[in-house]
Structure 1
């Protein structure tokens, strides 16, 4: 066995362990940041600078959340909000991704679709809310429509960008191998655009949660957004903060789920990057 082979074999485990060390370090830093945030919050609450109505301590919020969970008051709100977010987000994805692909792939299609989308994109969700009630009433349909509207645009824009800005080298290589236009579209463009599409999905999911608060203000009796408004009106600030933190945890969990799906779908990209 040559010295070069020995060096390569010895360096392989070290190279494989580097990503694990980086992940561990990243996790430790993020955990430390969160611990520091909650510790600072606890100290400020204990200082007496604010009354518990204005700023309850993290322990008071945790206790309120535990009581709500044990009483069964929390789970129906979580289930209602998750159902609305999932329905609105899936509907937005089913509309935005095909439209974005068609717009990015065909300039003529883009000439028809993009002006209409750009006309509505600056209009905020709250401005659409009265129309949503007028069109769909105060039931679930209006809430899902608003969530779909809010999450549509980032998915659509990122899908267009992913399709339009595919590296020309990939397309030229496929053409030189005799690939047809449809084969290039399916096997090159869609695969290369996938990272941007997934980024759009993660952004769209964030907008879905942002829109959920406005959507659940429409004559709701269940949902985390409704819980925020209801507890705020009765000055139950600890329960209000439970609902706010729930938004953060649920959004984080669903974003991590999308990230795991992205890693499974884009294994080829990581493998390609590791060769360079």
Structure 2
């Protein structure tokens, strides 16, 4: 309960600081007042386009979920293979280590040329971007599973497959969930970039449209909307993690 109160007060303090900064700027005119709208002005801008918001959210979430699902399946699968098998690691890891340092947005023009301006280029771009974070976290979790427990299981007659599914994979789940949370954050980042460049719908496109119209209040609304949806998705993943990993003791923060 105390944590919830502190978190709520933190958000309220952020909103109050934003509102105060906008009001002070309106009086002092550091920059034109339209550049820093107040929270009520942002809400009013969102209300003006309320009939467009559900459709934008739906199409953007569909793109995120499709891309994230591809990234999650491939990232967890290949991460488990590389983490549990030195042979698989020697095959998979060199290729991924070459591709991983390249900024995902550098591939966006290539994806557009290959797959056009339709949904495929956006979904695959999201999948490509989120994949590496999920893969690396899965690999780390599986590779550094408790070696004493693994050796104990093998010495007691368990096969490598049984030891992996009974010890290696469960012990790697916290790292896997960390990768999933970071991956969905990257998915939203790339989604907005893709929709800014090559879309005629979605939350990113709506921000770009607001830029063309010089509607900073609508740009703020679009950014806040993305932030709220991302916050909800993070909370869902965190809740799923707490249920699936209820067996794992948590260290209390001080």
- If the TM-score is normalised by the length of the shorter chain, which range does it land in? over 0.9
**1:25 aligns to what?**
2
Q: Which runs of 5+ in 1 are unaligned?
A: 1-23
Q: Give the SS at the match of 1:133.
A: helix
Counterpart mapping for 1:169-180 below 5 A: 169-180=148-159
RMSD value over aligned CA atoms? Answer: 1.5
**1:57 aligns to what?**
38
Moved over 3 A (4+): none
Deviation at 1:85, TM superposition (A): 0.4
Deviation at 1:156, TM superposition (A): 0.2
Whether the aligned pair in 2 keeps the contact of 1:53 and 1:235 (CA below 8 Å) is no
Counterpart mapping for 1:142-221 below 5 A: 142-221=121-200
Whether the aligned pair in 2 keeps the contact of 1:88 and 1:145 (CA below 8 Å) is yes
* Aligned equivalent of 2:203, options 212, 224, 234: 224
Counterpart mapping for 1:30-45 below 5 A: 30-45=7-22
Q: Give the SS at the match of 1:220.
A: coil
**1:67 aligns to what?**
48
Deviation at 1:258, TM superposition (A): 0.6
**1:5 aligns to what?**
none
Q: Give the SS at the match of 1:179.
A: coil
Counterpart mapping for 1:236-251 below 5 A: 236-251=215-230
CA distance in structure 2 between the partners assigned to 1:212 and 1:98 by the alignment:
23
Does 2:245 correspond to 1:266?
Answer: yes
Whether the aligned pair in 2 keeps the contact of 1:162 and 1:193 (CA below 8 Å) is yes
CA distance in structure 2 between the partners assigned to 1:52 and 1:78 by the alignment:
29
Whether the aligned pair in 2 keeps the contact of 1:231 and 1:239 (CA below 8 Å) is yes
Does 2:101 correspond to 1:130?
Answer: no
Whether the aligned pair in 2 keeps the contact of 1:143 and 1:218 (CA below 8 Å) is no
Instruction: Report the count of equivalent residues.
Output: 248
CA distance in structure 2 between the partners assigned to 1:162 and 1:137 by the alignment:
37
Deviation at 1:39, TM superposition (A): 0.8
Does 2:93 correspond to 1:111?
Answer: no
1:64-116 per-position Cα deviation (integer Å, ceiling 9, x unaligned) = 223322xx111111111101000000010111110010001001110111110
Q: Give the SS at the match of 2:122.
A: helix
- Radius of gyration: which is bigger? 1
Q: Which runs of 5+ in 2 are unaligned?
A: none
Whether the aligned pair in 1 keeps the contact of 2:196 and 2:207 (CA below 8 Å) is no
Does 2:71 correspond to 1:92?
Answer: yes
